[in-house]
Chains A and B, each alone.
Chain A
Amino acid sequence: MLDQILCIDDDPITLMLCKKVIVKSSFSNEIITSQNGEEALSYFNTIKHTNNQNKPIPQPQLIFLDLNMPVMGGWEFLDYFNSEEFSEFNSIKVVVLSSTIDPEDLEKSKQYPMVIDFLSKPISQSMLEYLKNKLK
């Protein structure tokens, strides 16, 4: 079981579903959510600055990332997250969880080293079992 995971999605129902399924599958102890890429980045910035004050804050071990979001979408988030600025978080793995059907999106996701999988919504218990095995 993971300690903390981050779900980034603008749709509250999806987030609710994620929480419920994750709890049900005992996939993670803690679930935190962000409504878009920008919110997620500011969360990581908070971690960065709090760490500086020698108060360690637990980091998410996995991110479920949606692609189409207002303010900052999944791709833009990945671009920032992949940059020097967030290099201390580069061990965090990302799973793209989207309802896209555009084959180009799948290709594009392969360019980011932290993206370990590209999965189609909805999140399900079987999907989480699969990920558990993959992360072992």
Chain B
Amino acid sequence: MKSKTNQVIIIYILISMFVAIVSHKLLLQYISNEKIPLYTFTRDILFILFTGIIFKLILSKNDNRNISTFEKIKNSNNEIKESNEKYDIVAKATSDTIWDWKIEDDNFSWNKGIENVFGYKQEEVGENSTWWFDKIHPEDSIKMSIKLYSFIEQKTEKWQDQYRFRCSDNSYKYVLDRGFLLKDENGKAIRMIGAIQDITKQKEEEQRLKLLETVITQSKDSIIITEADSIDAKIPNIIYVNPAFSIMSGYESVEIIGKSPDLFNSPNSDVSELEKLLKAIKNKEECLIETISYTKNKDEYWVRLSMIPIYNADNELSHWISIQRDITEEKKQEKEKEQLIRELTQNNKDLKQFSYITSHNLRAPLSNLTGLLNLIEDITIEDQELKEILSGFNKSTHQLNDTINDLVKVIIIKDNPSIKKEAVLIKEIFENVFSQLNFQIELYKPIIKLNFEKISVINTNKAYIESILLNLLTNSIKYKSENRKLKITITTEEIDDTVVLIFKDNGIGIDLVRNRDKVFGLYQRFHNYPDSKGLGLYLVKSQVETMGGTIGIESEVNKGTTFTLTFKNKQ
């Protein structure tokens, strides 16, 4: 630039010089006066040089001004370029959706985000604010527009809002929208530019955390969080307590944070349990204890307390969580229950003793009566009336003796819940039972069918099973039908782990419709037979149950009765 100025000046000077020299030469040829041409020539040269210098001055000043203007333009050009580049970079980097709203014309434009984030194609996007408002969740739109218009009317300083924005697939996204206003020279809002950030993930996480937090805040169990490290072998200091803890202990969270839970210990706390807890803390192990604690008002309560170590991602102990429950009521009930059990056990023992003593005291004079009657048997009595009286006396005494002996059997069975069992051959049991009933069997000659092919050995108490079968057989014979020959079928089979013994007769039966509840009851009689006491089936059931078995009955009047006995075959 500068050189160009200099060139122009040099060319000007050279051309002027050339013209001046040529004019001088021409003048010398026509004018002979020697003095005048030299003078004119010198004046011309001087004029040329002078104008050259003037030119030079003007041009270089102009030059300087041009240069500074050029510099300015260049700088501002650079700035614009740079800011454009920055914008491009930011717009590419941000996931925000940018909108631009010319308020007066209601012209609304969106950047690429409206497609990338919300799925709207360019042609789907409306060009006014209604389109925007239309996409806001109905529950959020009123609150949102109130805030927005109060900002546009410049009643509020800042505007940012959270609302749900509908996507093209009709799902909603939580967004954070932030905007600023552009104003004209009168301060009127003419344009608003905003950036919408998709915060759905944060919002969902927030809601999830809020939901999880309710577990702690709404829990009826007390929850304490403490620091990781303990000071002076105490329980580590508390950093959080939930509301349930305040209710349980009476301490507000501000009173207790930063302190050690040691202060809940009461003089009645279980020392060994506390030691267990401190040891677990030392070893960074989980532990569960039950102890008595103090509330703020020094009231005692029973607490079941767990201490759980929490490790961070680096597998370092970060803190402890303690969950505590007030078990005062539970403890009280437990105590009452224990007391009740103790009392019941004692009562039961007393009653048992009582029944033994009573039966002993009944049996003692009864045995005397029996003994005395035995002596009378050997004495011949002439007096017929006395003989009759003594015979009645004898009968009644033996009846009383039988009843008491039966009751004694019941007492002994009931007192013996766990009895010795052994593997017994079923055939053998029946041989014993039949020999005891030899007289009746000979008398009535019943048809007895036995089928022990499937199961021949049964794990049971020999004396009991004999007594059971003796009772059942005696019943069958006693309550046989007069119209047909007595037939008894006894079979055994194995079902799963149990042995089932089926005892079936064709006797007179029991009306189960009326008597089902009473069949196995004590002193229940269903037929008016002189020697029936209503004890047999009660004894049978007691014995079956003492051995861990069950007994069932099916019966039809005048058809017969079937008993089903089920025993566990394994111990």
Q: Is the CB of A121 within 8 A of B356?
A: no
CA distance A120 to B360 in the complex (A): 11
Q: Is the CB of B359 within 8 A of A101?
A: yes
CA distance A125 to B364 in the complex (A): 18
- Cβ 8 A contact of B364, one of A14, A20, A24: A14
CA distance A90 to B187 in the complex (A): 130
- What class of interface size applies to chain A in its complex with B? 20 to 34
B363 at the interface (CB under 8 A from A): yes
Chain B residues with Cβ below 8 Å from A17 are: 368, 371-372, 375
A70 at the interface (CB under 8 A from B): no
- Least CB distance from B406 to A in Å reads 12
A68 at the interface (CB under 8 A from B): yes
- A7-20 toward B: CB 8 Å interface, digit per residue (1/0)? 00001011001001
- Cβ 8 A contact of A101, one of B363, B372, B374: B363
DSSP class of B's interface residues: helix, strand, loop or mixed? helix
- Least CB distance from A13 to B in Å reads 5
Name B's A-contacting residues (CB within 8 A). Answer: 356-357, 359-360, 363-368, 370-372, 374-375, 378, 408, 411-412, 415-416
Q: Which residue of A lies closest to B352 (CB)?
A: A102
Chain B residues with Cβ below 8 Å from A100 are: 356, 360
Chain A residues with Cβ below 8 Å from B359 are: 101
A123 at the interface (CB under 8 A from B): yes
Q: Is the CB of A122 within 8 A of B360?
A: no
Q: Considering residues A24, A121, A123, which has the most beta carbons from chain B within 10 angstroms of its beta carbon?
A: A121
Q: Is the CB of B356 within 8 A of A11?
A: no
A29 at the interface (CB under 8 A from B): no
Q: Is the CB of B374 within 8 A of A124?
A: yes
Known: A17-B375, A68-B360, A121-B363. A101 touches B368 (CB 8 A): no
Q: Is the CB of B356 within 8 A of A102?
A: yes
CA distance A20 to B442 in the complex (A): 39
Q: Is the CB of B360 within 8 A of A101?
A: yes
Q: Is the CB of A124 within 8 A of B371?
A: yes
Chain A residues with Cβ below 8 Å from B408 are: 101
A103 at the interface (CB under 8 A from B): yes
Q: Is the CB of A121 within 8 A of B412?
A: no
Q: Is the CB of B412 within 8 A of A122?
A: no
Q: Is the CB of A21 within 8 A of B371?
A: yes
A99 at the interface (CB under 8 A from B): yes
Q: Is the CB of B356 within 8 A of A101?
A: yes
CA distance A123 to B374 in the complex (A): 10
Known: A21-B375, A101-B408. A11 touches B360 (CB 8 A): no
- A96-123 toward B: CB 8 Å interface, digit per residue (1/0)? 0011111100000000000000001111
